[in-house]
């Protein structure tokens, strides 16, 4: 724990094993200055010392995470600001504080996804961008990266309220543009495949899919980097 550092907030879906969360916690304990860790939603039985805000998860994955972020913002127990993470975000090297990172213009990210697939996520991206355009941001940046994000509670609640009518709101993007966060552009760090490509030993941040973590080169790399249990996990087989 780093005194005065923001708490980490991580929405967690149901499922007791969640090896990605175990190693994400190890990486945060080693490399990301923070106060407490708050798990929003489901608390795996092997987790210890982390704080817990229970939450019924009856919606889609997009709706569940949005409700979880709102719950963290509305809780007086969680620090303001806090660091928003997913359970598959890995901080691979020490940082003094979390930098502000974005993925570049939404129009470029939209073109990337439109060339490969369609669906709720792409529709939500377009609707979020249109909403931002209506509120003075005609060429918004995308903050939909798989890296931690520092969140000001009041600003995030304003963003969530503004986008509450959207089925799949891109809340990080809405928050980042309304708050005029700026930041540094990077490529997304999500590794979708098993091959040893797309990252290197100097990668500061990584994220995985369940298969790439369990069976891929990137998962082996992460497990080698963090072989020792953190203070957030109990012993035993899970």
Per the structure block, which two tokens stand in for 71?
């719950």
Pairing of strands 205-208, 190-191: parallel
Residue 179 lies in a domain: yes
The rounded distance, in Å, linking the Cα atoms of 93 and 191 is 17
Residue 74 CB burial class (10 angstroms; 0-12, 13-18, ≥19): exposed
Q: State the residue for tokens 């993007």.
A: 173
DSSP single-letter state for residue 89: E
Residue 231 lies in a domain: no
Residue 118's pLDDT is 79
Cβ neighbours around 17 below 10 Å, total: 11
Peptide bond before 39: cis, by omega within 30 degrees of 0?
Answer: no
The rounded distance, in Å, linking the Cα atoms of 137 and 16 is 41
Number of compact structural domains in the chain: 1
The whole domain housing 112 covers 7-225
Q: What is the pLDDT along the chain (238 residues), one digit of tens a residue?
A: 787 999 999 999 987 679 999 999 999 999 999 999 999 999 999 999 999 999 999 999 999 999 999 999 999 999 999 999 999 999 999 999 999 999 999 999 999 999 987 799 999 999 999 999 999 999 999 999 999 999 999 999 999 999 999 999 999 999 999 999 999 999 999 999 999 999 999 999 999 999 999 999 999 999 999 999 999 998 755 4
Contact 60, 11 (CB under 8 A): no
CATH code, domain carrying 196: 3.90.550
Residue 150 lies in a domain: yes
Residue 234 lies in a domain: no
Residue 236 lies in a domain: no
Residue 77 lies in a domain: yes
Residue 236's pLDDT is 58
Whole-prediction pTM: 0.95
Residue 114 lies in a domain: yes
Q: State the residue for tokens 């999500």.
A: 190
User: Angle at Cα 28 formed by Cα 215 and Cα 41, nearest 5°?
Assistant: 80
Residue 49 CB burial class (10 angstroms; 0-12, 13-18, ≥19): middle
- Of 96, 190, 105, the closest CA to residue 143 belongs to 105
Residues in the chain: 238
Residue 102 lies in a domain: yes
């Amino acid at each position: 724990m780093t005194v005065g550092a923001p708490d980490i907030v991580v929405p967690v879906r149901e499922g007791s094993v969640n090896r990605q969360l175990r190693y994400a916690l190890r990486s945060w304990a080693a490399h990301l200055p923070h106060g407490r860790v708050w798990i929003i939603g489901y608390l795996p039985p092997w987790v210890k010392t982390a704080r817990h805000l229970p939450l019924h998860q009856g919606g889609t994955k997009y709706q569940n995470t949005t409700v979880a972020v709102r719950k963290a913002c509305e809780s007086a127990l969680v620090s303001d600001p806090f660091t928003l993470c997913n359970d598959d975000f890995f901080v691979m090297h020490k940082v003094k504080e979390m930098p502000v990172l974005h993925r570049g213009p939404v129009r470029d990210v939209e073109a990337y996804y439109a060339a490969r697939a369609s669906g709720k996520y792409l529709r939500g991206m377009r609707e979020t961008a249109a909403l931002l355009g209506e509120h003075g941001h005609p060429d918004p940046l995308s903050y939909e990266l798989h890296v931690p994000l520092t969140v000001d509670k009041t600003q995030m609640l304003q963003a969530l309220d503004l986008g509450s009518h959207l089925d799949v709101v891109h809340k990080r993007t809405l928050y980042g543009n309304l708050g005029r966060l700026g930041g540094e552009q990077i490529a997304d760090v999500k590794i979708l495949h098993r091959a040893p490509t797309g990252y290197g030993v100097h990668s500061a941040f990584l994220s995985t899919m369940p298969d790439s973590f369990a069976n891929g080169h990137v998962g082996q790399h992460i497990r080698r980097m963090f072989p020792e249990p953190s203070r957030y996990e109990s012993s035993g087989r899970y």
